[in-house]
Amino acid sequence: MPVQMEQPIKALSEQEFHDLDFQVMRLAFDIHNQMGRFYDEKIYQNELVRLCQHNGIEISSEVKICLTHQTFKKELFIDLLLNHGAIYELKTASAIVSDYRIQTLDYILLSDVKHGKIINFRPPSVEHEFVSTTLTPADRNSISMTDTLWENESKTAQRLKSILLGLLADWGAFLNTALYKEGICHFFGGQETVLQPVEIKKENVLLGTQKIPLLSEEETFCISSIKNGIRTYGSHLQRFLDCTNLRTLYWINLNRSQVQLSSIRNSNHSVPNYSDRS
């Protein structure tokens, strides 16, 4: 199975989740009031596990989700799974940021549940945020694609597109773009091989180097999840590419279930001859 859960999952209704969350947050506030806000995340996790067990709440920590696609394997770990269906992510940060929401939503989608919670113990008062989705597996696998601007003659572009479609077929859409990027890099030799320094020049003056993923000596790719301002984003990618010696940037934009594939050519290069490329 492309998505494997370490433990069986039981989806909770919204009311069931909120009833459980009322108990969990009371314990979280007790921990914060008694222990303060300056411990590591693992300390709070262990104490919350102890108190949940003491109060008759079923709880497991570091619950593994295994994502696979052909030879690629990625393990993710849910901080806490309560009553087999409530996902909790614990943080000790200055504030809850979008990356934490994306991470929690990934776990919710991959577990096929609807509700989760982020609890942050570092602020002076406990910060907490509800994360939920109405998406079904059918929604996440109903994908439409636009590739009119994609260089389908390029063997690299063909391979990249094939890998992406395989990952979407196995995992579904709506996940963090970093997961798809890591999967793609695996099939092009792994992240250590793919991420290479590229010279950045302006008017033939070397400004420095920057590591980006290379699919070949002259081709790179970018995955985004832009919903608005796509044209502006594309123009910035064009400007970036034009300050390198690379020939083509393959741009994958995952806007929910809408997949847009575009090929951006370096303005300083002639039209590529695909018959000469691997």
Is the separation of the CB atoms in 178 and 211 below 8 Å?
no
Is residue 248 classed exposed, middle or buried when 0-12, 13-18 and 19+ CB atoms within 10 A define those classes?
buried
**Tell me, what amino acid is at 1?**
M
The predicted structure's pLDDT at residue 152: 87
The stretches of 112-189 forming alpha helices (DSSP H) are 137-140, 155-171, 177-187
Rounded mean pLDDT of 207-229? 97
Question: Distance (Å, rounded) from C-alpha 223 to C-alpha 177?
Answer: 6
For 116-138, write each residue's pLDDT tens digit. Answer: 999 999 999 999 999 999 999 99
For 16-39, write each residue's pLDDT tens digit. Answer: 999 999 999 999 999 999 999 999
The DSSP code for 268 is T
For 69-88, write each residue's pLDDT tens digit. Answer: 999 999 999 999 999 999 99
Question: Distance (Å, rounded) from C-alpha 126 to C-alpha 202?
Answer: 48
The predicted structure's pLDDT at residue 278: 36
